[in-house]
Copies of this chain bind each other. A is one copy, B any other.
Amino acid sequence: MNEMLYGLKGTILYSGGKDEIRVAEHGTVVCENGISRGIFPQLPDCYRDIPVYDYTDRLIIPGLTDLHVHAPQYSFRALDMDLELIEWLNTHTFPEEARYVEKEYAERAYEKFVKDLRKGATVNAAVFATLHADAAKILMEFLEEAKIRSLVGKVNMDRNSPDDLCENTGKALADTKRWICETREKYDYVSPILTPRFIPTCSDELLRGLGELQRKYHLPVQSHLSENRKEIAWVQELCPETSCYGEAYDRFGLFGGECPTIMAHCVHCTEEEIALLGKRRVTVAHCPQSNMNLASGMAPVRRYVEEGILVGLGSDVAGGTSLSIFRAMAEAVQVSKMRYACMDDRLKPLSVEEVFYMGTKGGGAFFGNVGSLEEGYRFDAVVLDDWNLRSVRRLTPKERLERIIYLGDDRNVLSKFVEGERLF
C-alpha cells in the first residue's frame, strides 16, 4: 500500500518544537511510501511530475495522539460525573467493564468507539481495553481495520476489584502471555501494550509476572499514576515499603528505563516521583478534562516541561467526556491557567504552542517517528476545514489553528491520511 509518491498542498502547520508552531502557507508536503519527504514552498524538480492534491487554503496538520483512553468506558462518557475517582470506578466503570465478558456486547460497543475515534483528528492512541483478552482482540481488529495506529492493553487486575473483574493471578499472566503471542505480530497498525490497571488492583505477584513478560517480549507499559489524593494514600497503605507511587511500579521494572512507559495523570507527584519520571524517561499522559471531571486536581505540567519530562495528552474517556485531542489541548491551557491563578503563580500557564506540541510530536514520540509532517516522519496528515469557524476578520493560519483547538470538532476533519493512505 505504501508504494506511492504524491503531494498534499494547503496551509501546513506543525510543531517546530515546544515553543513554536511552524506555518507553510500554500506549501506542499510530499509523501513517499508512507513517509514525509519534507515540506516545500515550491516543489523541487525531482518532484515536478508527482500528483499534488490541492486543498487550497485548508489547513493540513499532523495526526494527533491520544496517550490515554479507555475504550470500554466510551459507552458511559459524560454521565454521572458527580463522583470522585474511587467511587466512580465502583459505581460506573467496573459494572460496565464486566459486560465485556460477552463478545457480542464488546463487538457492538467497540465498533461504535472506533467509528467515532476514526472521525476525529486522532491517528495514534494508547488504549485500555478490559481484562477480557477476547474482547481486547475484538477491539484490536476494529482499530486495525480503521487504520488507527494503536497500542491496546488487555487490562490486568487481581485484587481490590469486584468479583467479576478480579483475575486469578496465574490465569491473568497466562491469558496475557497468550494474548501477547497472538497479537504482537498480527497487525500493521496495532500492537499490544502491558496494562496493569493501577497499583490498588494489582498484586506484587501480578506485577512481577508482568515485569517478566515485559522483558521477554520487550513490550511497552501503560498505567495510572498519582491521579487522586485518596488513591495515593491507598497505594501508600498497600505498599508501605515504597517511597512513592511510581516506585510501586518501578520495583518490577514497569516504570520506564528499558520499558517504554506511559503514566496517565501525574497530578500529585512528589518531588521524588518527578525526579524518577525524568530519570526513567517515562511519558506523562496529561488528561486535563478527566482531572477536572473527577475532581482529581491540576497537574503541574509546566514543571514537567521545565524538567524535560516527556508529556503528551490523553482524552481519558470516560474520565474525560470527549475523544477530541484538540479539546484536550484547550483544556490543558485552561487548567494550567487555573493552577497559575489559584495555586501556584510560579508555574506559568501553558501556551498554545506547547499544547500543540504535546498533542502532536510530544505524544507521537511514543509511537515512533510520528507527530510531524517534517522529512522522515510517518506521513500522518489531517486536513481541516474551518468553514464554520470563519470570522468577519481575516485570520492568520496560526489563529485559525488556535480557533480549531478551542472550538473545532469532527465536522472540521475533512480528510485523514495514515502512513500515506487516505482514510476519508
A204 an interface residue at 8 Å Cβ cutoff? no
**Roughly how many angstroms separate A341 CA and B268 CA in the complex, as a whole number?**
12
**Roughly how many angstroms separate A295 CA and B347 CA in the complex, as a whole number?**
13
Q: Contact check, A340 vs B295: say whether CB atoms are below 8 A apart.
A: yes
Q: Contact check, B403 vs A78: say whether CB atoms are below 8 A apart.
A: yes
Q: Which of A277-303 contact B (CB under 8 A)?
A: 289, 292-298
Residues in chain B near residue A393, CB distance under 8 A: 75-76, 96, 109
Residues in chain B near residue A297, CB distance under 8 A: 338, 341-342
Q: Contact check, A105 vs B392: say whether CB atoms are below 8 A apart.
A: yes
Name which of A79-87, A162-170, A218-226 contacts chain B: A79-87
Q: Which of A317-367 contact B (CB under 8 A)?
A: 321-322, 330, 333-335, 337-343, 349, 351-352
Mask, A97-117, CB within 8 Å of B = 1, is 000000001001100100000
Mask, A129-145, CB within 8 Å of B = 1, is 00000000000000000
**Roughly how many angstroms separate A403 CA and B406 CA in the complex, as a whole number?**
19
- Residue of A77, A341, A409 with most partner-chain B CB within 10 A: A341
- Residue of A293, A335, A342, A343 with most partner-chain B CB within 10 A: A342
Residues in chain B near residue A334, CB distance under 8 A: 289, 292-293
**Roughly how many angstroms separate A78 CA and B412 CA in the complex, as a whole number?**
16
Q: With A112-B392, A392-B75 given, is the CB distance from A81 to B333 under 8 Å?
A: yes
Q: Contact check, A109 vs B77: say whether CB atoms are below 8 A apart.
A: no
Residues in chain B near residue A340, CB distance under 8 A: 295
Residues in chain B near residue A321, CB distance under 8 A: 330, 403, 406-407
Q: How large is the interface on A (under 10, 10 to 19, 20 to 34, 35 or more residues)?
A: 35 or more
Name the distance in Å between A59's Cβ and chain B's nearest Cβ.
Answer: 14
**Roughly how many angstroms separate A112 CA and B407 CA in the complex, as a whole number?**
16
A399 an interface residue at 8 Å Cβ cutoff? yes
- Residue of A80, A293, A338, A409 with most partner-chain B CB within 10 A: A338
Q: Contact check, B392 vs A295: say whether CB atoms are below 8 A apart.
A: no
Name the distance in Å between A395's Cβ and chain B's nearest Cβ.
Answer: 7
A402 an interface residue at 8 Å Cβ cutoff? yes
Residues in chain B near residue A77, CB distance under 8 A: 403, 406-407
- Please pick, from B81, B337, B406, B409, the residue contacting A409 in the complex, using a CB distance under 8 A: B409
**Roughly how many angstroms separate A342 CA and B337 CA in the complex, as a whole number?**
13
Residues in chain B near residue A411, CB distance under 8 A: 411
Residue of chain B at shortest CB distance from A324: B407
Residue of chain B at shortest CB distance from A107: B392
- Please pick, from B294, B349, B407, the residue contacting A295 in the complex, using a CB distance under 8 A: B349
**Roughly how many angstroms separate A383 CA and B127 CA in the complex, as a whole number?**
35
Residues in chain B near residue A105, CB distance under 8 A: 392
Residues in chain B near residue A395, CB distance under 8 A: 79
Name the distance in Å between A67's Cβ and chain B's nearest Cβ.
Answer: 21
- Please pick, from B75, B78, B109, B343, the residue contacting A402 in the complex, using a CB distance under 8 A: B78
Q: Contact check, B109 vs A337: say whether CB atoms are below 8 A apart.
A: no
- Residue of A77, A343, A392, A395 with most partner-chain B CB within 10 A: A392
**Roughly how many angstroms separate A80 CA and B406 CA in the complex, as a whole number?**
11
**Roughly how many angstroms separate A301 CA and B402 CA in the complex, as a whole number?**
29
Extra pairs beyond A79-B399, A295-B341, A322-B407 (7, CB < 8 Å): A78-B403, A79-B403, A81-B333, A82-B351, A293-B334, A298-B338, A322-B406
